[in-house]
A and B are shown apart, each in its own frame.
Chain A
Amino acid sequence: MDALTAELIKLKRSLAWPIVIGLPVVLVLAGAATQLADGTTPEDGWDTVWLQSVGFYGLFPLAVGIAVLGSLVWRVEHRGSNWNALMSSPASSLRIVVAKAAVIAGLTALMQIILYLSVLAIGKLAFSLEGMPDSQHLSITALLVVATVPAAVLQSGLSMLMRSFAVPIAVALLASGFSTAALMVAGNAALVSPYGLATRTALLGTGSFVDEGTITGGDVAAILIAAALGTVVLVLCTTAVLEHRDTRV
């Protein structure tokens, strides 16, 4: 628990909030921009607002956002002599990896909640839609919180290995592009890629790109299994890698 408390203290001054709040808000605004400019209202109400918001968000900004958070959380460890302090601390590799991944996954979860709230806000305030969005959208948001955990763990691992802030982000952009292509070709088999898992879940029920428009129990089960397995495997791999790292001169 100490490792996690330490991470939360480091987070306080790390400027994570512009990404956590800014990214989903900008994408929801961008999705609605054309209609706001034309003064028209979305055809299918909440469904259209949701599709416009997650349609692009799920393709790669989601993965890139997780990557930025990963780089941000690990940035401090690569500065000054902090790496050596980390290597010589009594906390075990597993605890460090879990604490870092938990912080990144937590911020990612907040990002999804902000996305949902932004959709709600733009529907209510800009388009004055009636009622509330389907409970389905809330469930997808909750599923997205779980399904982005493997991507958070993987990006945490990449940012742990690379001292550069930017490279893990380039990896996320390109990997999510290739994963989307793999989803189109191979379907749910591409869920082995954490990026494919995040994209598939974000686009669930929208009928765009990699989705047929109906949500089946099989899809949800596949997503949950992939998220659970991916998280465990990636945490163990990252721990094994960190275990073999040493101090740097």
Chain B
Amino acid sequence: MSGAAVANEFAKMRRLRVWLIAVLMTLAVLGLSLFTVVSSPDFDPGSPGAWNALLAGMSLGIPLICPLLLAVIASRLTEVEHTGNGWLSQATAGITPGVMCRAKLVALGLVVTVTTLGTGLLVILSGKLLVGILAPPPLGRWTVFTLCMLAVNLVVLALHLLVSAKVENQLVALGIGVLGCVLAVFSQGLPTAAAHVTPWGYYALATAADYGGGGYIAVDVCYPSIIALAVVIGIAFALVTDRFDRQEA
């Protein structure tokens, strides 16, 4: 895969308004995080655990918003190949379908990385400036949490790229996205073992704070599982895209 293939994907993205969806994703998660603070009556910006409310808001907001919007951007960038017969025309130019899927993952992955890390930073900034939390932000925990959410987002993105590329009818991809949203949200109420079953359950494992005992408390992020998921799906993505290259166009 060359830089030109990735640059190509960015060129395709220009008129697909992917950036707009990314910005709205950030704003929606930020809004939900701030809503958690506004809606909890006993929130005190002076208490040392005040950041947990924002972390809990993000832990709920990301699984609520991201699975479907990731499905949308993956479907959007892949659908153009189906409608414009891009698979064949790019293959004649030396970029086979498998390579193109990897280029799409790199290009959209960059967008998702910037969006997820940006959301994490923006929530810290608004916690300091808008909410006025006095305690210093727990930067270590915040980093682990954001990186774990990023890993799960990238895994979900990779899977959606494969589905959108394989099945032409985007109903399937979006249907899986809706199902993923439901699974991501309800996995938080299920036992940890059940959350390991589907990729969306790992959003629940990346939860860094939760409501319990009359306030928001810190929860340990289950990062070994998330690293394992990222490695397994990474290898699977490489194998499947390799298979794409051996198919008849």
Contact = CB atoms under 8 A, between A and B. Distances in A.
Query: Do A and B originate from a single complex?
Result: yes
Interface of A: 15, 18-19, 22-23, 26-27, 30-31, 33-34, 37, 56, 61, 64-65, 68, 71-72, 75, 79, 163-167, 169-170, 173-174, 177, 181
B31 A181 contact: yes
B53 to A, nearest CB: 18
B174 A169 contact: yes
The 5 closest A-B pairs by CB, nearest first: A165-B170, A166-B75, A166-B72, A30-B186, A170-B72
Interface of B: 16-17, 21, 24, 28, 31, 35, 65, 68-69, 71-73, 75-76, 79, 83, 169-171, 173-175, 177-179, 181-183, 185-186, 189-191, 194
Contacts, number: 90
A169 B72 contact: yes
Contacts of A30: 182-183, 185-186
Given A166-B79, A170-B68, A68 B171 contact: yes
A134 to B, nearest CB: 25
Nearest to A56: B185
B190 A37 contact: yes
Given A34-B190, A64-B68, A170-B72, A165 B182 contact: no
Contacts of A26: 179, 182
A18 B174 contact: no
14 contacts: A30-B183, A37-B194, A61-B178, A64-B178, A71-B170, A71-B174, A75-B169, A164-B16, A166-B72, A167-B72, A167-B76, A169-B68, A170-B21, A170-B69
B174 A165 contact: yes
A4 B191 CA distance: 48
Contacts of A22: 175, 179
B178 A68 contact: yes
B175 A164 contact: no
Contact of A33 (B79, B177, B181, B190): B190
A79 B65 CA distance: 29
A72 B79 CA distance: 14
A173 B182 contact: no
Contacts of A19: 171, 175, 178
B174 A166 contact: yes
Contacts of A64: 68, 178, 181
Contact of B171 (A15, A34, A37, A167): A15
A206 B21 CA distance: 32
A39 B75 CA distance: 39
A15 B79 contact: no
A173 B169 contact: no
B203 to A, nearest CB: 14
Nearest to B189: A34
A27 B182 CA distance: 7
Given A163-B83, A169-B68, A170-B68, A65 B178 contact: yes
A166 B186 contact: no
Nearest to B74: A166
A49 B37 CA distance: 29
B48 to A, nearest CB: 30
Nearest to B177: A169
Contacts of A166: 71-73, 75-76, 79, 170, 173-174
A165 B178 contact: no
B178 A23 contact: yes
A242 B179 CA distance: 33
A166 B79 CA distance: 9
A165 B24 contact: no
Contacts of B171: 15, 18-19, 68, 71-72, 75, 165
Nearest to B169: A15
A82 to B, nearest CB: 13
B68 A33 contact: no
A199 to B, nearest CB: 14
A177 B35 CA distance: 12
A174 B79 contact: no
A31 B183 CA distance: 11
A170 B22 CA distance: 11
